[in-house]
């Protein structure tokens, strides 16, 4: 059973009040987590994790820059200042 299936089974167990189903699903989630950590320990897993990290950092940088541009635009609208004065 994969992570998503285990999670859905756990939710169904909670809804039905079936504690054994919840326990079984939780064990499936633990197994999926261990498998994911074992994959990350491989060279390919490390490379993929690094690429994901780089992508996340790039997205944060882009979002930050977008917010700076928006703040500058609002400053110009509110104060009427432009160029260096607005910075």
Q: What is the Cα–Cα distance from 30 to 62, expressed in whole angstroms? A: 35
Shared domain for 28 and 16, answered yes or no, is yes
Shared domain for 37 and 47, answered yes or no, is no
Shared domain for 12 and 50, answered yes or no, is no
Its pTM stands at 0.50
DSSP state of 42: S
Shared domain for 30 and 58, answered yes or no, is no
pLDDT digits (tens, 9 = 90+) for 34-84: 888 888 889 998 999 899 999 999 999 999 999 999 988 888 888 887 777
Q: What is the Cα–Cα distance from 77 to 40, expressed in whole angstroms? A: 49
Shared domain for 34 and 50, answered yes or no, is no
Place of tokens 């690094």: 50
Shared domain for 36 and 60, answered yes or no, is no
Range of the domain at 74: 43-87
Measured CA distances, 4 to 7, 15, 62, 80 (Å): 5, 17, 31, 53
| Count of domains observed in the chain | 2
Q: How many residues does the chain have?
A: 87
Shared domain for 86 and 49, answered yes or no, is yes
């Amino acid at each position: 059973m994969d992570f998503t299936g285990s999670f859905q089974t756990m939710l169904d167990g909670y809804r039905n009040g079936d504690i054994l189903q919840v326990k079984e699903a939780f064990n499936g989630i633990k197994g999926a987590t261990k498998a994911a950590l074992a994959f990350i320990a491989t060279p390919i897993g490390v490379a993929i994790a690094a690429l994901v990290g780089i992508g996340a950092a790039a997205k944060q940088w882009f979002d930050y820059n977008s917010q700076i541009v928006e703040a500058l635009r609002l400053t110009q609208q509110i104060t009427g200042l432009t160029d260096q004065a607005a910075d």
